[in-house]
Structure 1
Amino acid sequence: MAAALPPPECVLCHRSDTSLDGCGLMQQVDGVCAHVNCLRCCICRKKGATVACRQKRCSRRFHLPCSSQRGCISQFFGEYSSFCWEHRPQQTVETLQEGHTTCIICMEVVEDSLSYTTMVCPSCKHAWFHRGCIQGQAYRVGLRHFACPHCRDQERFVPEMAQMGIRVPDIKPACEQEEEEELALPQLHGRCDARQCLYRGGREQWEEEG
């Protein structure tokens, strides 16, 4: 008698047991097995969640678009790790705000302490900014020019921001891309090509005067 095949293993939690009140039933699609609850987003409660918290023994999974709603962090370097709101990395900069501190980018008031949405430069400790504002700057300037808006430090600033989930694309700044696009545009023809130009100012002068 042939030996019985072992039960299929979930590709996400690597367990084969099933229970209605735990991992849920096993679902198989195109030969890939996973527990129903392993694929359920812990934020919106809908299925299809493939991003898992990297912390050991944490079973939270979520959709990438849902992650910012609960303060989850995804890192866009190395192993591309993601963390839920409970296990996400925290800034450990020891600094205090002076009065009502404003974001150095949008000039709106920030929270009175470090949080998911309020961050500070680890180098100068004076530049406070919103997560969304510094992310926007990273998209605009790219890796080569991304730096603290106040002290212009890159050595400590860039790794810290990446660790905190700021995506810094390795692209040219938006202004340089616009300049290249302008140079790539076809140039207007600068002279009359008629065999016999009848304009009294000459072939080149005709183009300048329209």
Structure 2
Amino acid sequence: MTEVSTIAYTKIVLHAVKYPHSAIRGFLLGKRQGQQNPPIVVDAIPALHGSLLNAPLEILLITLDTYCTEHKLQIVGIYFANDRLSDTSFDDIFAKTGERLHSVFPNPVILQVDNSKLSLVPKNICLKAFNYDSKTWKSSSCFLTNEETGLRTASRAIEEKVYREIVDFEVHLDDPSLDIFNPEITEKIRQLF
């Protein structure tokens, strides 16, 4: 089971809500819980909201590696949402990025946003988890560190339209003054706890 913090969960939801017409992709930062256990996901870094482009992802990975070293974190996985509400298919192309993570992190995770579960009044988390095992992605489970707080915080952030402010790497490439780590968003999320 993969544990997801309220901050990571809310950022993923905000990224999906900001671009409801596009597929979104991002990276998960966290900490290892032991050699064979799934990681604890503590943050989410929005990457793309459109076509999957390898060159920008390579640049982003270098940036993330430096950030993780400075903050004693690891890139522990990736997340994505499909562009259509009813599309629950697995993103096999982006999953190849996750497979590459396997060479540096033994138990990477993929979190998929189930668009049909995005709601202002959610009953359950809108994520599905997959873990890399025996050269294939296998369905797993995930939970929020505190489910009630996580669901309530994500809902409040949507109500307050915080998604308008979230920056992904694609936007950062257009305006480098915008911070892909979204420190202001993180602070707003903390205030919504």
Larger helix share, 1 or 2: 2
TM-score interval for Structure 1 and Structure 2 normalised by the shorter chain: under 0.3
TM-score between the two structures when normalised by the length of structure 2? 0.22
The higher relative CO (CA closer than 8 Å, separation ≥ 6) is in 2
State which structure, 1 or 2, has the greater radius of gyration over its C-alpha atoms.
Answer: 1
